[in-house]
Copies of this chain bind each other. A is one copy, B any other.
Amino acid sequence: MSWTLTADAVRDLARGAAVLGTGGGGDPHVGALLAEQAIVAHGPVEVVPLNELPDDAMVVMVAMMGAPTVMVEKLPSLEEVRAAVQAAESALPEGTITHIVCAEIGGVNSTLPVAAAATLGLPLVDADGMGRAFPELQMVLPTLSGIAASPVSFADEKGNVGVVHTADNTWAERIVRVACVEMGCTIMITTFPQRGAQARTSLVKDSVTRAVQVGRAITDSRASNQDPVASVVEVLGGRELFAGKVVDVQRATTAGFARGRARIDGEHDVLELSFQNEHLVAQAGDTVLATTPDLIMVLEHDSGEPITTEGLRYGQRVRVIAAPSDPRWHSAEALQMVGPAYFGYAVEGHRFDGSPDHPEQEDVA
């Protein structure tokens, strides 16, 4: 059943999305401020369950592309959202957009679509393209379903607007990314326009609800003097990997991405986190504890406040948790797109819950 997302719930959504953003995706509070502003101006947003989408709905992802390190300094505006959606509509032979959906349920791209939906007076689908955050445009489950990212529309704060139809989804990432970098490292985009019938099978369901639950678990645990980190682990069906102090952070913003490493000293051991916008590998000595596509999250030790990769600082006391990704991310094809090797990490593909990494190969055996 549809439910109504109010300005109050946006705070929980933002906190939950910061957790599910696995360190990346940009600060969701930036999008939350915009969402609250849009809801005050235009009213609350209707959130539609994925299985209630009409077959002929026209769903598009609305997202911000860019380096999270830049996003926190250069705030998006609703003007750019409108410009990008308008450009998408003019490029869609299928006509009017009926629903907005999140590309990722992590980071700013979980809350910005709320702002877009409120501003445009459109419902938001309770779903997203990945069940987490990933750094590149093509890295959504619809790519694996053969759905085109094109037309991709984009807009910046200077009034530049564009639409591309690309040979494949990786070309969409390549062309729009260089345009994004040239336009100042953040732009608003719309992508993966699809019919309701396609969306129902290509997307991850209940993502918005899940993010609100995660955020609320943190808020409620704090209010009742319980351990927020433990409550997040429970909601996500995850596990705590490590606790310690941040002792070193190296980061660089290159080619539109925030890349780097963090070292966390524990009681007996040292954890090394590698990130490219998101945390992608957690390793203690030679032991790989978790890797992309599973979710690796860094939370402040006591408050459970999620810490983004650009928020990591020397001296922070943190706990690192992991949770299983949508199982579709563990197919061989998916791992080629988002596995550790794609990002240049020489670690074995590793499935957090202990089951083998290529389940569909087992089906064949």
Contact = CB atoms under 8 A, between A and B. Distances in A.
Interface of A: 87, 90-91, 158-167, 171, 174-175, 178-179, 181-183
A181 B178 CA distance: 9
Which residue, A159, A162, A166, A174, has most C-beta atoms of chain B within 10 A?
A162
A171 B165 contact: no
B165 A162 contact: yes
A178 B182 contact: yes
A29 B125 CA distance: 55
A158 B150 CA distance: 14
A175 B166 contact: no
Q: How many copies does the complex hold?
A: 2
Contacts of A162: 162-165, 175
- The 5 closest A-B CB pairs, nearest first, are A162-B164, A159-B167, A178-B178, A178-B182, A158-B167
Nearest to A161: B165
Given A90-B91, A160-B167, 9 more contacts: A87-B165, A158-B167, A159-B167, A160-B171, A162-B164, A162-B175, A178-B178, A178-B181, A179-B179
A151 to B, nearest CB: 9
A175 B182 contact: yes
A162 B91 CA distance: 10
A163 B160 contact: no
Contact of A161 (B90, B164, B182): B164
Nearest to A159: B167
A159 B159 CA distance: 27
